[in-house]
Amino acid sequence: VGEQLYLGMDFGTSGARYALIDKQGTIHAEGKREYLQHVDGKAIDRASSWKRTLFLLLEDVPVHLRPYIASISIDGTSATTMIVNSTTGDPLCRPFLYNESCPDALPIVKSIAPANHTVCSGSSTLCKLVSWWNSSDSNKESAMLLHQADWLLWLLHGKLGVSDYNNALKVGYDPEVDSYPHWLLSQPYSRVLPSVQAPGTSICSIKVDVGTQFGIQEDCIVCTGTTDSIAAFLAARATQPGKAVTSLGSTLAVKLLSTNRIEDARFGVYSHRLDDKWLVGGASNTGGAVLRQIFTDEQLVELSKQIDPMKPSLLNYYPLPAVGERFPMADPKMVPRLLPRPESDVEYLHGILESIARIEAKAYGLLKDLGATQVEEVFTAGGGAKNEKWTKMRQRVLGLPVSRAIQTEAAYGAALLALKGAQQRIH
Ligand code: ADP
């Protein structure tokens, strides 16, 4: 190789991946591991499983490439929260998972936070912290809150108490003024909060013992991470305002890079900071889940082949898997509209795909109405991205260039953060 490489790791919901890239973004190695729940017949807890997976992934990186690793970064699931001992880093309780809800803490959080703040959701990091604080008798004096990615990065760099402003958003960090707000700092538990850096900022060199164990050079730096969905956006390399990524998975999620910050609780729209720009996002309940209720994936392929994407469909549906929509129409009582069903399945699928494309267009239109930068180009991720007919239809309906994102793995996005951290150190 002879050139520097950058390592990104993604800790998702069921397993973890790594990607090793060079400064052009070419992948030199990648791999994945499922989380183990048992080791040698014995059950292990989640934190131990993540730690084990981290070191297994490092072992999976080909030995001859490891000396070239110049920097490392990690993303984790958003709002996955750990309370650890502030001296030893050992977990004081089991991790709170991203989707776990702490309804006991919600009224308390609502009473201290501004109305409609991101923390006002039972699964926010702050609700998890408050729930732990009010129910635990373990040593609060020596507690420290870390997100999943922070803790895994700490295992590599050893400086306890560092996070990034993407992970810290749901604990209440204000990325605009770059500090925790006063209403949070005045609470007794604010002293357990980590310090916050921009994602992809060099923290320090890799721990000597870890470097020695894996054959990684001692000047390899460890950089702050981000959340899994932001890392997946970064992977698409949509780096200019107006560039967007539509994710066509079970649901339809749009993410748009904007020069300004947009928040609207009615539509569940909020923004993450990315240096001097904002990543504006919203998620509709429409998407692939509805397609799967009607067609198999094989039927989707076969029927799509017969669609003429240049021909507009006059069928006007609102495909939803269940009652209720939030974005781009805020209506918890909205009923799915999938009738009338034409005799031809090709026509039916055409109508559904086109209707989803209209919802996508409405989504970007709403973001603009709320004040975001106007969308100029859309990259696509998720299971729907491979449908070329749909891509052409969406291009016609959106009136914009639409293409499949070349990279969509969050681990690749994390590797780009590692690259960013390494480049900033040189400049
Ligand atoms: P998830 O959100 O579950 O991770 P994926 O990104 O794996 O979803 O995408 C799965 C979705 O992609 C399914 O809901 C399926 O309906 C949709 N899908 C699969 N194949 C096609 C296709 N050829 N055209 C359109 N959609 C498809």
Tokens 């969406």 belong to 394
Show Cβ contacts of residue 39 under 8 Å, excluding neighbours closer than 6 positions. Answer: 52
Give the span between the Cα atoms of 303 and 346, in whole angstroms.
5
Substitution site in 250, 301, 305, 408 for ligand 1 pocket (most atoms within 8 Å of beta carbon): 250
> How far, in Å, CA of 410 to CA of 232, rounded?
4
Q: Is the pLDDT of residue 151 over 90?
A: yes
> What is the mean pLDDT of the segment spanning 224-233?
97
Separation CA 23–CA 35 (nearest Å): 30
Pocket of ligand 1 (CB under 6 A): 249-250, 288-289, 291-292, 297, 300-301, 304, 382-384, 386-387, 390
DSSP state, 145? E
Task: From residue 168, give the alpha-carbon distance in Å to each of 129, 173, 413.
Answer: 12, 6, 18
Question: To the nearest whole percent, how much of the chain has pLDDT over 90?
Answer: 95
User: What pLDDT digit, counting tens, does each position of 269-290 carry?
Assistant: 999 999 999 999 999 999 999 9
Q: Is residue 75 pLDDT above 70, yes or no?
A: yes
Q: Tell me which residue of 279, 260, 282 sits closest to 373, measured CA to CA.
A: 260
Q: What is the pLDDT at residue 425?
A: 75
Given a contact cutoff of 8 angstroms between Cβ atoms, the answer to whether 155 and 54 are in contact is yes
- Whose alpha carbon is nearest atom 13 of ligand 1? 288
pLDDT of residue 427: 60
- Per the listing, tokens 């989640």 go with 46
pLDDT, residue 139, reads: 79
Residue nearest to atom 25 of ligand 1 (CA): 384
> For residues 256 and 59, what is the distance between their CA atoms, to the nearest angstrom?
36
Could you tell me the distance, in angstroms and rounded to a whole number, from the CA of residue 27 to the centre of ligand 1? 25
Nearest-CA residue for ligand 1 atom 9 is 383
Cβ burial, residue 343 (10 Å; 0-12/13-18/19+): exposed
pLDDT in tens, 290-299: 999 999 999 9
Distance of CA 194 to the CA centre of its chain: 20
Q: What percent of the chain has pLDDT over 70?
A: 99
pLDDT at residue number 138 = 74
Q: Which of 414, 378, 404, 372 is nearest to 77 (CA)?
A: 414
pLDDT digits (tens, 9 = 90+) for 350-377: 999 999 999 999 999 999 999 999 999 9
**Cα 383 to ligand 1 centre (Å):** 3
| End-to-end CA, the chain | 24
27: nearest Cα among 12, 8, 10, 11: 8
Average pLDDT, the chain: 96
109/150 Cα distance (integer angstroms): 23
User: How far apart, in Å, are the Cα atoms of 346 and each of 299, 302, 308, 341?
Assistant: 10, 9, 10, 11
Ligand 1 geometric centre to CA of 385 (Å):
8
Q: Are strands 221-223 and 202-205 parallel, antiparallel or unpaired?
A: antiparallel
Residue 137 is predicted with a pLDDT of: 80
What is the value of ipTM here, to two decimals? 0.97
CA–CA distance, 245 with 241 (Å, rounded to integer): 12
The string of pLDDT tens digits covering residues 39-72 is: 889 999 999 999 999 999 999 999 999 999 999 9
Closest listed residue to residue 418, CA positions, set 16, 18, 12: 18
Q: What is the chain's length?
A: 427
Tokens of 126: 């702050």
Judging by beta carbons within 10 Å of its beta carbon (0-12, 13-18, 19+), is residue 168 exposed, middle or buried? buried
Domains, in order of start, for the chain: 5-229+411-426 (3.30.420.40), 238-405 (3.30.420.40)
- pLDDT > 60? residue 300: yes
C-beta neighbour count of 250 within 10 angstroms:
17
Note the pLDDT of residue 426: 67
Looking at residue 1, its pLDDT comes to 54
Q: Work out the average pLDDT over 174-186.
A: 98
Atom 15 (ligand 1) nearest CA = 288
Q: Which atom of ligand 1 is nearest to the CA of 295?
A: 16
- Distance (angstroms) between ligand 1 centre and the Cα of 166 equals 27
Please choose from 10, 14, 77, 248 the residue to mutate so as to test ligand 1's pocket, defined by most ligand atoms within 8 A of CB. Answer: 248
Only one residue has tokens 């994945």, namely 32
